[in-house]
Amino acid sequence: MKELSDVLRKLEGAKVSGTKKEKIQNIIDYYEMLSSPMSSDPTDDRSRLFDFYEELAARDYKTLRVNKVIDKDIEVDNYFEEATRYIFERKFGLDVLPMEGTRHADGKLPFSKQEVVLWDNKSTEAPYHFPDNHFNQFLRYIRSEKMRVTLFLIVVQDYTKEAVAQAQKLKAFSEEDTDIALIKASDLKYVADQWENFSDQKQPLFSLQVFNMTGELTRNMLLSRMEWALKGMGKR
């Protein structure tokens, strides 16, 4: 028993107490959470954050600490945002536009000469329910943007039916017919990984039309929208 406890003490975040059977399981659980120290893209440090994108979205502190993605819990929000920026810049090849001040959405993308897309990350351990303070926050972001916001994309680990209803309400309150879309981090990561496979082009230009709708962007819906977005590009 002492030997098992000594092993567990050396494993950061592992539970030391328990029966012999529980301690053995704690050691197994620890090593099952470990992944390869190699990142998917050695040319960009943010790829390590992308590799743990779903864990960042869900605030899975234990897995993130074990794999040395974070040192402090407070880093999760910033790293979730950085991983999303990496997706748009490196995976989709889009320009992330600069934003003035500090009271703004997490990111902005060009959509047309007159329109932009805003996105915001909300990491939560439980499914996101879109509280009223976030509703007011996002409404302020939309209304204060100089260009028309055609889409406001909210990236979360999961969401409730209440959140979908709030998205519909925010579209109405935007007064600009702004689409409000909810997307799971796992699905955004899936699109990022699969986009090139959907095209016969070596470097297909990503279309933000894939996300441009109000409500929930399910996996099946995203697959369908990727297909017709690429077909539309082929006609150009």
Say what the pTM is: 0.82
Nearest alpha-carbon partner for 178 in 115, 124, 233 = 115
Examine the pLDDT at 200 and tell me if it is beyond 70: no
95's torsion region: left (phi>0), alpha (psi -120 to 50) or beta? beta
Contact 205, 234 (CB under 8 A): no
Contact 161, 182 (CB under 8 A): no
- Strand extents, DSSP E, 140-214: 148-156, 179-184
Neighbours of 223 (CB within 10 A): 15
Percent of residues, the chain, with pLDDT higher than 70: 78
- Give CA–CA dist 131/69, Å, rounded: 28
pLDDT of residue 134: 98
Rounded to an integer, the average pLDDT of 147-153 is: 97
What 3-state DSSP class applies to 124?
coil
Region of poorest pLDDT, from 19-23, 31-35, 217-221: 31-35
Rounded to an integer, the average pLDDT of 141-155 is: 97
Examine the pLDDT at 7 and tell me if it is beyond 60: no
| Average pLDDT of the chain to the nearest whole number | 86
- Give CA–CA dist 4/192, Å, rounded: 42
- Give CA–CA dist 132/129, Å, rounded: 9
Domains and CATH numbers, the chain: 1-33 (no CATH), 82-234 (3.40.91.30)
